[in-house]
Structure 1
Amino acid sequence: MAIAHRRIGTGPVRVIVLHDWFGTSANWGSVLDHLDPEEFSYAFLDYRGYGERRDVPGRHTLPEIADDVLELADQLGWDTFSLLGHSMGAKAAQQVLVRAPERIEKLIGTAPVPAGPYVMDDRTHALFHGAAEDPDKRLAILDLVTGHRASRYWLDRMVAHSLAVSRPEAFAGYLASWQPLDLSSAVKGSTVPVLVLVGEYDLALTADVMRATWQAWYSNCRIVTVPGSGHYPPHETPVAFATDVEAFLRG
């Protein structure tokens, strides 16, 4: 059975897009209106247990996401392609890179989780691991990573979306997979061109974190700080985000 996905564009530059822990292929903000459909072909994948694939059974792990990405690419007839991953989706993209490095042209991480384990103190661990069942914890996480700047209305909408379109067991399962997973030795020294977009106001995945991880492990990695944004540049600064992404893919 073909893997359900959202398509934007029919251009020659091919990109598979991987969403964050809270989102889906539909939850990329207004940036979806600013992508060039003539130069690029974007395929947005929902993970098992999320969005259009909410009822698809699975193990809810990053290796499973990588399997689905490569199967989708095969179904699309894309021998090679670039990857755009947001937050958890960027770590999933790195799992794809480890699995099939010869197929990946470029890699873009947006507010990206690094390849190594995501270390949490006890308070953070309780916050994140309690979020599957507690909407207030989801809101607290979103408020933190957007620098306590986003409106309550936007935060409430993001929480409501995440609750409506993901299964709690999938939400919990992906966290249990991406948080301890260590891909750092597998990606270290990779020469794939990498762009890291980090929000100016992201209090969790900061530019310092990116320099100590992504830039230390990838030999061809450029870090760009996105002014006026926290963890969600596609929502917070959509035109600037689309411009940065497509300039890198085009170059």
Structure 2
Amino acid sequence: MGGYVTFGNGPKKVIALHGWFGDHTTFDAMRNALTPGAFTYALPAYRGYGLSKAITGEYSIREISADVIEIADKLGWPHFDLIGHSMGGMAVQRVLADAPERVRKIVAITPVPASGVPLPPDQELLFAGAANSPEARHAIIDFSTSNRQSRSWIDHMVSHSFECSTTEAFAAYFQAWSKTNFVDAIIGNKVPMLVIVGANDPSLNADMMKATYLNWYPNAILEVIENAGHYPMDETPVALATRIEKFLS
């Protein structure tokens, strides 16, 4: 089990999972828009990241799920809601597959599908190279926000991603989110699910969600957040937090 922080003391229990470039601080920009008296949020860091940077493992989606369930057990939460961004969107589905009776609702934010995301050779080379290359990380973030955000913000995202993760974990998690496929374990699950995409995310966009999430989950609904790309928790934090808590309430 890795490290985590909690925020709030409300009766609704929520576990929020970060993406490939994030850690337990991923949702910090949203805190002033959240309702700590109504919700208790647990924010884990995956092995090799953030509070868990010194913890090694196999760096797989299944391992993330097992660690999340162990955190829920430690907190004494028999049932909980899940939020997942990007790679974390894939991971929350694995938690659902592994502990379906415990998951109440899911919010998937610009999420990777349970089928993974096979990439063409040139893109796979770029993403694989990002483990050691600041330039590759910059290009990925800039592309995933449609070249609309400031260089200063992108530089911050890149530097933080190097500070908060090990090269080994970052490289391994790319293979995990791009090549893992467990659609058979989740297809047809009736969990209430809100799938959120940014209007300016060119890849994990509404069309992809309709072909995957909305096709697999009968109770999934899709919403598009304007003025956001792949990182709405940073680009439009108040709008995202408000929509999440409305759905979970």
Q: Is the pair's TM-score, using the shorter chain for normalization, greater than 0.5?
A: yes
Q: Provide the residue aligned with 1:109 in structure 2.
A: 108
Superimposed CA distance per residue, residues 51-73 of structure 1 (whole angstroms, 9 cap, x where no aligned partner): 01100121111111011000000
2:73 partner amino acid: D
- 1:102 alignment partner, SS class: coil
2:160 corresponds to 1:196: no
1:208 deviates by 0.4
Superimposed CA distance per residue, residues 140-194 of structure 1 (whole angstroms, 9 cap, x where no aligned partner): 0000111110100000000000001100000011111121111212111000000
Q: Provide the residue aligned with 1:142 in structure 2.
A: 141
Q: Alpha carbons of 1:178 and 1:242: their partners in 2 closer, same or farther (altered >3 Å)?
A: same
1:32 deviates by 2.0
Q: Provide the residue aligned with 1:85 in structure 2.
A: 84
1:106·1:194 contact (CA, 8 Å) conserved in 2? yes
What is the aligned-residue RMSD (CA, Å)? 1.0
Q: Using the aligned pairs only, state the percent identity.
A: 44
1:117 deviates by 2.6
1:43 partner amino acid: A
2:35 corresponds to 1:65: no
Q: Provide the residue aligned with 1:51 in structure 2.
A: 50
- 1:37 alignment partner, SS class: coil
Q: Provide the residue aligned with 2:117 in structure 1.
A: 118
1:29 deviates by 4.6
Q: Provide the residue aligned with 1:16 in structure 2.
A: 15
1:29·1:238 contact (CA, 8 Å) conserved in 2? no
1:196·1:221 contact (CA, 8 Å) conserved in 2? yes
1:26 deviates by 1.1
2:2·2:46 contact (CA, 8 Å) conserved in 1? no
Q: Which moved more, 1:181-190 or 1:46-55?
A: 181-190
- 2:223 alignment partner, SS class: strand
CA–CA distance in 1 between the matches of 2:206 and 2:11? 32
- 1:84 alignment partner, SS class: strand
Q: Provide the residue aligned with 1:241 in structure 2.
A: 240
Stretches of structure 2 that go unaligned for 5 or more consecutive residues are: none
Stretches of structure 1 that go unaligned for 5 or more consecutive residues are: none
CA–CA distance in 2 between the matches of 1:101 and 1:147? 36
2:99 corresponds to 1:100: yes
2:180 corresponds to 1:181: yes
2:148 partner amino acid: R
CA–CA distance in 1 between the matches of 2:181 and 2:25? 29
1:27 deviates by 2.8
Q: Provide the residue aligned with 1:211 in structure 2.
A: 210
1:109·1:197 contact (CA, 8 Å) conserved in 2? yes
1:28 deviates by 2.4
CA–CA distance in 2 between the matches of 1:76 and 1:234? 25
Moved over 3 A (4+): none
Q: Provide the residue aligned with 2:33 in structure 1.
A: 34
1:3 deviates by 4.5
- 2:26 alignment partner, SS class: coil
Q: Alpha carbons of 1:29 and 1:3: their partners in 2 closer, same or farther (altered >3 Å)?
A: closer
CA–CA distance in 1 between the matches of 2:140 and 2:190? 33
CA–CA distance in 1 between the matches of 2:32 and 2:2? 23
2:34·2:241 contact (CA, 8 Å) conserved in 1? yes
CA–CA distance in 1 between the matches of 2:95 and 2:68? 7
CA–CA distance in 2 between the matches of 1:244 and 1:171? 30
Superimposed CA distance per residue, residues 177-215 of structure 1 (whole angstroms, 9 cap, x where no aligned partner): 121111212111000000001000001101000000000
- 2:152 alignment partner, SS class: helix
